[in-house]
Structure 1
Amino acid sequence: MMESVQHLKDYQVVEFRRYVTAGGELAHFVKYFDAYFPEAFEQLGAMVFGQFTERGRPNRFTWLRGFHDINARPIVNAAFYYGPLWKEHRIKVNAILPDSDNVMLLRPLHPEHGISVLPAVDPVTEERGAQGIVVAQIFAVKKGSEEDFAKQAEAAFDAYRIEGVHPAGVLVSLDVPNNFPQLPIRTDGPFLVWLGVVRDEATLDRRLAPILASAERSLVTGGLLRGAPERVVMDPTPRSRLRWLAGAGAGVSP
């Protein structure tokens, strides 16, 4: 299963992109995104790791885009946003996307353990589309405490390794100038983000959620955060690569 994506690896720059869609337009935006954009970025040498709707936020769409390095970011983005595909669809897409500026620029905590790329959803064998639940924990870290907090966090994340949960990545802020200023990025970091894929509701509610809550309380008491952690629970769109895929662990993060 994973052999088909062995060439899709080593993405050292990750954008964590959280959009607000116009009222009642989230389902339409999901269809546009799934239909038009993932393969376009892959052809340009970037990667759409996965795309999701956020639970409890009916107008929120989140996706993860990867680049091999920071120098590839402006090259890929220029090719896409000045290219024919975006030119064809941008008017109708932008009309239902009032806010696309909530973007964290990140990198893998450990270069050798980035977000693994799962095979694309197979329309023949996965007729129901992407399954599972994706969870992100976002920690706003005090500047200067990034290394110490990462050590504390990694120790806490060990408890997340339970049956029915695939770790999908640990990301930290990439503190570099925005080299494609047409697309804003947040400057209020640093952040550390844990990503995981959960098999089903029962695993999330009964097993993982209590562990997440305990880790959040513990990490807050360490005094290295600027505020309470944010936990984002997301449903993959039908074509999201990042999903529950039996037999294929979603990541190799520590």
Structure 2
Amino acid sequence: MSELRHPVVELRQYTLHSGGRDALVDLFDREFVETQEAAGMAVVGQFHDLADPDRFVWLRGFPDMPRRAAALHEFYGGPVWRRHREQANATMVDSDDVLLLRPLDGRFGFPAPAVRPPVGHRDRPATRFTATLCHRTGPVDRSFVDLFHRRIRPLLVETGAAAVACLSTEYAENTFPALPVRTGEHVVCWLSRFADAGQLDDHIRHLDRSRRWRDEVLPELSGTLRTPPRLLRLAPTARSALR
């Protein structure tokens, strides 16, 4: 069980202009990591979406909703964002796909991060991550928590995934309305880590072939969902702390 960290988490998915991702990642990793953390938030991880060269996915965490508001006001009202916002915004088609989340049942949050490489580091880690997004018909209940801990998580581990965290919707009012978040949704998202692309491919293949997943777990899970689970395949940027 991971130590509870970042009781409030944003999962941010950006759609970018064609060819703009490298420019945004370079700018982000150089200018927006330490400066956001100095304002009171944690940049948990930044990722290339492996299925779409024009998608950038990242996570940031906060101690609570009031301190989220204070940290965002400080950063977005500060000199670094003012100096670079036009360059950053020029890469983006849409930056409003944002889910406000919290650790599932207050227990399964992010582990302590790895030491982040310094500014200017260019070598991207071989590790891969997945984020599985489940849009539920209603809020998380005890039966889903039991399903995740008793059946889903053990099966993920059995098929080669290192379970990192599981998050569900944070229903508190958005304390920084200048940055929209998606509302009226009931979401669960679990994240898994893999040593490399080959291990990720093996995991997906083994899970697809698992009779227990196909015939038992997936039908029970799907009965609570509006749409089938969505899998994001993610590669950390050179300076991602989650790596």
TM-score band by shorter chain is 0.7 to 0.9
Superposition pairs of residues 1-254 of structure 1, within 5 angstroms: 10-123=5-118, 128-144=123-139, 146-154=141-149, 155-162=151-158, 165-211=161-207, 214=210, 215=213, 218-222=216-220, 223-243=223-243
Q: Aligned partner of 1:221: which letter?
A: P
Please give the per-residue CA displacement for 1:76-124, whole angstroms capped at 9, x wherever unaligned: 0000000011011001111111210000000001324311231333359
CA distance in 1, matches of 2:49, 2:141: 27
Structure 1 unmatched runs, 5+: 1-7, 244-254
Q: 1:81–1:187: structure 2 CA closer, same or farther, 3 Å change rule?
A: same
SS of 2:17's partner is coil
CA distance in 1 between counterparts of 2:176 and 2:215 reads 37
Q: Distance in 2 between matches of 1:12 and 1:109?
A: 10
Q: Which runs of 4+ in 1 moved over 4 A?
A: 216-220
TM-score of the two chains, using structure 2 as the length reference: 0.88
SS in 2 for 1:49: strand
Q: Kindly provide the amino acid, as one letter, of the partner of residue 8 in structure 2.
A: V
Distance in 2, Cα, partners of 1:181 & 1:60? 23
Cα 1:23/1:160, change in 2 over 3 Å: same
**Distance verdict in 2 for CA 1:241–1:164, change over 3 Å:** farther
Q: Number of aligned pairs?
A: 235
Deviation at 1:220, TM superposition (A): 4.4
User: How far 1:201 moved relative to its partner?
Assistant: 2.1
Structure 2: how far apart are the matches of 1:51 and 1:34? 9
Aligned residue type for 1:73: R
Residue deviations 1:136-189 (CA, integer Å, cap 9, x gap): 111111115543223222321111224864221000001111111000001141
TM-score with structure 1 setting the length: 0.84
Conservation of the 8 A alpha-carbon contact between 2:50 and 2:233: yes
- CA contact 2:131–2:233 (8 Å) conserved in 1: yes
Change (3 A) 1:150 1:127: same
Deviates more, 1:184-193 or 1:100-109: 184-193
Residue 83 and residue 65 in structure 1: after superposition, are their counterparts in 2 closer, same or farther (change >3 A)? same
Distance 1:39 1:230 in 2: 31
Gaps of 5+ in 2: none
Q: Distance in 1 between matches of 2:109 and 2:74?
A: 24
Letter in 2 for 1:228: P
Identity, % of aligned pairs?
32
